[in-house]
A = this chain, B = another copy of it.
Amino acid sequence: MTPCECAVADCLLCEARLLSGLAEQQVCSVPGLILRELRAPGEFLFHQGGPSRHLYVLKAGYVKLAAALPDGREQVLGIGVEGNLLGFEGFSQEVFPYSAQALTPVHVCGVRRTDMTRILTGNPKVTLDVLRVLNAELERSKALIMDLGLRTAPERVASFLLSLLPPGRTWERELPLPLKRREIAEMLGLREETVSRVIAGLRRERVIRTRQGKVQILDFARLRSQAGFSPAEVPESRFATA
């Protein structure tokens, strides 16, 4: 068996158990099956309209997923975090319908589309895992649709901030906020000034505290009611777990 570029124990494609159906040897016996790439902030993993030759698993860092209208207006569709599957639409389409740009230094593992097709047809367990991931992504899209369709600006921002919480909440800590005001605004269908004003308000009311690149939620209950969620409901992380 030839050695492979990917130390399996160290690779998210494996860690994320997306390839749980593949024995370690199967992965390693295909040299070049897994590509590893490093991207600096601002660099693109792929471009909207570009040919979709690979599918990626995000190993570390934050990625902005966004699509633009021909006139330049841009909509942030979501934020990719560690463990996310990126560019999966490439599986059934020739071009990417949106672009992926690194917000921080980013580490990804990539699989060629053709390889992925082969892996999926041969490994039902993997396909089932992917299915679950897509389902989760669909969930997140629906949550964003709810925000955009019927929440007010303050509600959207509150909802967004809540979505920063990791699933297993130990929420008293500071949470990383890898997005600029501008990008939050682009995600929520608002303007940067509006986001700034709402955040200022929440800060003034001691609901949150902000320090460069971080947020701390001080009053969870108030934030949740502000967002228009039912008392019990905890919104799903918009930075979803793959």
Contacts and interface: CB of A to CB of B under 8 A. Distances in A.
Nearest to A230: B70
A230 B132 CA distance: 34
A2 interface: no
Nearest to A187: B149
Nearest to A131: B131
Interface string A190-207: 000000000000000000
A16 interface: no
Contacts of A142: 67, 77, 97-98, 141
B138 A189 contact: no
A137 interface: yes
Contacts of A127: 124, 127-128, 131
A172 interface: no
B150 A228 contact: no
A7 interface: no
Contact of A135 (B92, B98, B121): B92
A44 interface: no
**Copy number of this protein in the oligomer?**
2
A118 to B, nearest CB: 12
Interface residues of A, number: 46
A88 B145 CA distance: 18
Interface in A45-79: 67, 69-71, 73-75, 77
A14 interface: no
Report the 7 A-B pairs with minimum CB-CB distance, sorted nearest first. A148-B148, A141-B141, A70-B230, A149-B189, A75-B149, A124-B124, A73-B150
Given A92-B131, A149-B188, 17 more contacts: A69-B228, A70-B229, A89-B138, A92-B136, A97-B139, A98-B142, A120-B128, A121-B124, A121-B128, A127-B131, A131-B131, A137-B138, A138-B141, A141-B142, A141-B145, A144-B145, A148-B189
6 contacts: A70-B229, A70-B230, A89-B138, A92-B136, A93-B135, A148-B189
Interface of A: 67, 69-71, 73-75, 77, 88-89, 91-93, 97-98, 120-121, 124, 127-128, 130-132, 134-139, 141-142, 144-146, 148-151, 186-189, 228-230, 233
